A and B are shown apart, each in its own frame.
Chain A
Amino acid sequence: MRERILLVEDDEALGRQVARQLEEAGYAIRWLRDGAAALREDPHDYELAILDLMLPGAYGLDVLKRLRAQGELPVLILSARHDTHDKVRALELGADDFVTKPFWPDELLARVRTRLRRPALQREGVLEAGPLRMDVAGRSVQVAGRRVDLTRVELDLLAALARRPGAAVERGWLVDNVLDPEREGTERTLDVHVSRLRKKLGPHAALVETVWGVGYRLNPDVPA
């Protein structure tokens, strides 16, 4: 089912463009041009609201207050003002994030996806990302349905990446949080573990990506 987004934007050109981009990206959009109309919407009909702060009819913050009062609908604020007061106020009123104009279509899309991303942890102790399925509590890992035996460090490493699929994790953080604190851990030690992990993943070695200047990332979009 397509996720539904409520877009409240008074600028005709921008509203049309954003609505089209989001529809092309696979979302169902309801675009309202003024705040008064937005005040009549039921927030439970949507998974996300995108709200321009400068609205005719009702101040954007009033719409935000109303949406917040009626439920847990995530709200993304579009702000054209380089005024921190508005942003701070919006965040205080419960907005989840803001995007400052002028933004790129991909930028807005990335922010929408971040807001709508399903948590990686689906059930108690189970991580799923692409072909990867980890039972963290049971310490077992399956890739495309095939069981893979991992050492403790390899499993912790994979779990650290799988908790945030698609997000790069910094090398230094992994050294501090994954390697055995009893032994001398260096970034080179980490690289050795990653290398062994990849070998064990076999045809799915590309699940663990090296990220230039940062560290490693679990890419959930590798072909199964």
Chain B
Amino acid sequence: MRLRTRLALSVVAAALPLAGASVWARRDLEQRRVAQVLREFAVTRMESGGRERCEADPEHFPPRPGPGGGPRGMDVPPPPPPPPELGGDVERPRRPPAPGPDDGTRFWAYGADLVSRNRDAPPVAEPLAAEIRGGADVALQRVADGEGSAWEALVRMPWSEGPGAFVLVRRRAPDADGEALAGLLTGVVVAGGVLVAVLFASGSVVRRIRRLESDVRRTAAVRYEQPVEVRGGDEVADLARAFNDAAAAVRAHLADVVRREETLRAFVANTTHDVMTPLTVLQGHLDALRHAVPPGDTDAAEALRDALREVDYTTSLVANLAAAAKLEAGPDAVLRRPVDLAALVERVAARHRPVARAQGVELNHAVPEERVVAEGDVTLLEQALGNVVQNAIRYNRAGGHVALVLRAPASGRFEIRVADDGVGVAAADLPRLTERGFRGTSARTRPSTGTGLGLDITRGVCDLHHIELSFEPGDPTGLVVTLRGERSTSA
């Protein structure tokens, strides 16, 4: 939830009960006032002759209004003069007008047992009776009266015996809903005012927080190299300061990670370098042994062929690890220079021909007479092509062929094609060869299929050089892998 919304809701949540309480207080005050007025009315009526008439003829007190339809034909005297202590008539504008016979006020007299001798008198409601029995001088309640509502007050007389010990006064009340609405309206208006004030006051805070937020995003985008600006001295400024502290910690951590990564990369590079020379010597010895195997010793020849394969696999793994480290290091670690593709193809062919020959696979290559140059990282490109050629040899059989051809069509592009007549790849699996991440755990486990870390490196290098890598089934067997890219116009 946004800060402003939350503030507004909090204000509303606080204002509503307050408005409710104010409405209730108003109503309570009003009831006390009405009770007082009705009591005064009843006592005055009874004291100014009502008591005597009631005791004389309790069955017909007070007399019913006449059938003539006069507003209120009650046989009651006019209202008494105001109590002397309250000053003259003109001095009473604040008091509600004393109820008169014409304002819909009616009353009935009851004995000490709260039972009226007049049959027309309504029974005393139990809540009123209970309150009076509890010792109150007056008990008030609101009752339904036709389409409106009325106040009903049970008043204790200054005397306590006779048929007029208590008087029930009933008087029309103004619309209760209207009153409540007015109260509620006041509450809402007040709450609205407070709300506007709060929103206005919170505006500047929200603005500052938003500014801090955009500052933080900007500094995060530059790997926390720039601190956010600390403005003012309040909590928002504290927040900015705390963020700067956190950013410093993140920076330190990042620097540490980068340092470790560089160490690790250097370690991989050095290790691969250190292992290359002994591997060359090992290959030389194996090769010498191959020539020393007496003809007819098929076991030894086979063992040596396997050994050659293993060492070939190991060297390609090391070379691919080095290439992977370079690819991981990002485009900046890649050195793009014009590469003589014919020389590159010659090197790849020369490198893999000894292994092919040992397996009885014929590796042929061809390059055009003219120079073909492409921009790129020569080490990575050589590794990428080498992996393809190596796969073509490995997934072949004695008597099989691999052809490596560089072409330079007139289109200003180059095309390197590696075709073999080996086992090939199932048609359904062909599209998967170009899939990114079609690698699984092959980086660590020895691949049993034609795809592994090698092909992944090839894909990565081709992507980096905008070289299109495609796979097609051979005719009639085998696989044709083609690398197509832009030729360079330089030298």
A107 beta carbon closer than 8 Å to chain B? yes
Within the assembled complex, what's the spacing in Å between the Cα atoms of A214 and B343? 17
A168-B365, A213-B401 known; A102 and B353 CB under 8 Å? no
* B405 with A111: CB separation less than 8 A: no
Within the assembled complex, what's the spacing in Å between the Cα atoms of A82 and B319? 8
Give the interface SS of chain A, mostly helix, strand, loop or mixed. Answer: mixed
* B366 with A169: CB separation less than 8 A: yes
* A168 with B280: CB separation less than 8 A: no
Within the assembled complex, what's the spacing in Å between the Cα atoms of A17 and B289? 13
A140 beta carbon closer than 8 Å to chain B? no
* B280 with A83: CB separation less than 8 A: no
Using Cβ atoms and an 8 Å threshold, which residues of chain B touch A164? 369
Q: Name the distance in Å between A216's Cβ and chain B's nearest Cβ.
A: 9
Q: Name the distance in Å between A120's Cβ and chain B's nearest Cβ.
A: 12
The interface bits of chain A over 69-85 (1 if a CB of B lies within 8 angstroms of the residue's CB, else 0) are 00000000000111111
Partner of A170, one of B273, B353, B354, B405: B405
B272 beta carbon closer than 8 Å to chain A? yes
* B272 with A104: CB separation less than 8 A: no
Using Cβ atoms and an 8 Å threshold, which residues of chain B touch A202? none
A1 beta carbon closer than 8 Å to chain B? no
* B378 with A214: CB separation less than 8 A: no
Within the assembled complex, what's the spacing in Å between the Cα atoms of A40 and B91? 134
* B353 with A107: CB separation less than 8 A: yes
Task: Give the number of A-B contacts (CB < 8 Å).
Answer: 134
List which B375-391 residues lie within 8 A (CB) of chain A: 377-380, 382-383
A104-B351, A167-B366, A212-B401 known; A81 and B279 CB under 8 Å? no
Tally of chain B residues near chain A (CB < 8 A): 53
Q: Name the distance in Å between B396's Cβ and chain A's nearest Cβ.
A: 12
The interface bits of chain A over 109-133 (1 if a CB of B lies within 8 angstroms of the residue's CB, else 0) are 0110010000000000000000000
* B326 with A82: CB separation less than 8 A: yes
Using Cβ atoms and an 8 Å threshold, which residues of chain B touch A212? 362, 364, 401, 403, 421
Which of A27-35, A93-101, A144-152, A193-201 has 4 or more CB atoms under 8 Å from chain B? A93-101
B16 beta carbon closer than 8 Å to chain A? no
Give the A-binding residues of B (Cβ under 8 A): 269, 272-273, 276-285, 287-288, 315, 319, 322-323, 326, 334-335, 337, 343, 346-347, 350-351, 353-355, 357, 362, 364-369, 377-380, 382-383, 401-403, 405, 407, 419-421
Sampled A-B contacts (14; CB under 8 Å): A11-B277, A18-B284, A81-B273, A85-B335, A102-B282, A104-B283, A114-B346, A167-B366, A211-B366, A212-B401, A213-B401, A213-B405, A213-B420, A214-B405
Interchain residue pairs A-B with the least CB separation, the first 7: A213-B403, A102-B279, A101-B276, A102-B280, A82-B322, A104-B354, A212-B401
